[in-house]
Homo-oligomer: A and B are copies of this chain.
Amino acid sequence: MSQLHVSIVGGSGYTGGELIRLLLFHPNVELTQVASGSRAGQYVHSAHPNLRKITSIRFCHPDDLTSCDVLFLCLPHGVSSEAIERYRGLAPRVIDLAGDFRLRSADLYKDWYGETHSAPQLLQEAVYGMPELHRAELSEATLVSGTGCMATAAILGLAPLYRAGVVNTAIPLVVDAKVGSSASGAAPGASSHHPDRSGAVRSFQPTGHRHTAELLQELGQVAGKESGEQLDQIIAFSATAVELVRGVLVTAHVFVKELLDERALWRIYREAYGREPFIRLVKERSGVYRYPEPKILAGSNYCDIGFEYEPKQQRVVVISALDNLMKGAAGNAVQSFNAMCGWDETTGLTFPGLHPV
């Protein structure tokens, strides 16, 4: 197979670095250009020291990008939507990893991002890049959005219950997300200063987190809402930073309509994910790794999902874990890209993670 020419804009950040790593080893890809405004002219490994001796590519300036088959955007929020026409002019297929094109509704966007979208005409066209929920649409898509790292863990963990129609939506859904420091990006600052960030268990967004909007949209959709509508349930989403570089763990509390048993829940999850290459159901009776654990997912594209059921309360606790830079960002984008291209979705994504680590 001849290789596709793929380029990246915004390649000096953490998500960009992971994309470079994945695409350098992707058998169907020739990584053509990697642009960075701040590091143009420097070797890629000056920003990504793990790529020393792996590649001798240098960052180009974004103005020097040429046409390619697929263009990945790893830009700060708001930047990609402002320049989206230029980027779509460079490549027939664009995958944007920022938050700009995750929502189908300009109103929902305004509610949660607090600003008017700068390219609302593209919102319906863009596809939410989660192959597990949007596989069919991806094959036709010309504009694909990435997905929020915590939103991905929560949506993948919860979607089977919403699709099965068992959730009591009269009771709020509480989603408590724990996340590592790499989710805040590569720019140093007071909150990421090691003596202060090390060992932190730090509530940083107890209310109002933007990823909530992705849950309202995607869980609404699997629950049967039309595109552009949202779930009719209170979602109480809170995020806490923990001592970890890579990783997200989501603990979600769902109340179900009727008394279920554990076997019914297993059936719901197995039907939803039995053939998904990157979802593993993790729920064991013994051992240390009985539930999903993000640290053993570092570098892998898995989303591990488990649950526990408390019949007296009709409560399901859903636990899901992933690597925020992989299944929560770059890995998931490559999986979507594989789906777009009609390839095996695992192409270039087979690294299983390490243990111990």
Q: What residues make up the interface of A, taking CB atoms closer than 8 Å to B?
A: 14, 17, 21, 25, 46, 48-54, 171-172, 174, 176, 178, 180-182, 186-204, 206-208, 234, 236, 238, 240, 242-247, 249, 251, 253, 255, 280, 282, 287-289, 291-296, 298-300, 302, 304, 306, 308-310, 313, 315, 317, 319, 321, 350-357
A295 touches B253 (CB 8 A): no
Q: Which residues in B have their C-beta under 8 angstroms from that of A21?
A: 352, 354
A190 touches B193 (CB 8 A): no
What's the minimum C-beta distance from A149 to chain B, rounded to whole angstroms? 13
A201 touches B287 (CB 8 A): no
A203 touches B310 (CB 8 A): no
Most buried by B among A188, A287, A294, A351: A188
B178 touches A245 (CB 8 A): no
A291 touches B202 (CB 8 A): yes
Q: Which residues in B have their C-beta under 8 angstroms from that of A293?
A: 49, 200-202
Would you give 23 A-B contacts (Cβ < 8 Å), ordered by A?
A14-B195, A14-B356, A17-B355, A21-B354, A49-B287, A49-B288, A49-B293, A51-B355, A174-B174, A186-B193, A186-B356, A192-B195, A195-B245, A198-B243, A198-B295, A201-B295, A202-B291, A208-B310, A234-B315, A236-B315, A243-B243, A246-B356, A299-B299
